[in-house]
Amino acid sequence: MNIIVTGGAGFIGGNFCHYMTNKYPEDNILCIDKLTYAGNMETLEPIMDKPNFRFFKADIADRNAIYKIFEEEKPDIVVNFAAESHVDRSISDPEIFLRTNIIGTSVMLDACRKYGIKRYHQVSTDEVYGDLPLDRTDLFFTEETPIHTSSPYSASKASADLLVQAYARTYKMPCTISRCSNNYGPYHFPEKLIPLIIANALNDKEIPVYGKGENVRDWLYVEDHCIAIDKIIRDGKEGEVYNIGGHNEKTNLEVVKTVLSLLDKSEDLIHYVTDRPGHDMRYAIDPTKIHNDLGWLPATPFKEGIRKTIDWYLNHREWWENIISGEYQNYYDKMYGNRG
């Protein structure tokens, strides 16, 4: 099969490209990425020379570029990871989130309509559900939970989900949607919480924590997420939404203290800062549906996953140090500019 993976030079998309390229050597993985600030070709370096992997530098909101790729490559499956995803950035500059997350999704859906595919899969987020109160640990997001967004980011992702559902109903397009909890693991861009903690701690820099650090997130190891999406695109029922959660609820402060402890760093590095506007308090996913329908369960407990993640960052300092210095942004032109 020919499988398009958009946003494949990002964190989750990059891990998915690694996973699929290695697991299915008979399939062609066609990675599309615009290479914005969060796209990193160094993430793809280990698989760039594999015969079943190809990279295309393109913006999913660029209709001509996307149609050209579809016409030439004739994809069977499309997995859309491409998205602006940092909540803080969406608060300061919402427009780019609307262009990529909504217009980009519409272009991908139109390409699928025009050229035909066996499955379109939209990678979404639990943030479309809003948040849950800290004092109701019995409550979880299910696929039936109403959409109730809190930020321009989550609103743009919810809009994309609704577009996908509309195309599925109106055009009978074979679509699925997954909504995941917070991912962590290798190749995570250092603006996000866990890699930020690791990088700052290793450099003995202050670690900013919003408010009192009470916000709760459900942490999902990225490889477990990749396995879930693989199951959905192969065996998931058309038109369905699947929640993918890690069963690893932690407060932000717990996560910070865990990482500092494993790195043998002092908690004096913690620096509490003013909370961001509209900060969701608790995310918690009930993954019963994907377990019952597809047999998926998260395989990586947080204690194991966070150790693996820290070890990866310790062993790949050049990767994240290049990001912090800005050098990674020159990597495409330097190494792959002639690969087209």
CA distance 340 to 327: 21
In b/e form, how buried is each residue of 2-33, taking b as 16+ CB within 10 angstroms?
Answer: bbbbbbbbbbbbbbbbbbbbeeeeebbbbbbb
- Report yes or no: 252 and 277 within 8 Å, Cβ to Cβ: no
Site of tokens 């495409």:
332
Nearest to 120 by CA among 238, 295, 223: 238
Residues catalogued as catalytic? 126-127, 153
Nearest to 10 by CA among 243, 323, 340, 252: 323
Tokens of 331: 């990597």
In b/e form, how buried is each residue of 184-201, taking b as 16+ CB within 10 angstroms?
Answer: bbbbbbbebbbbbbbbbb
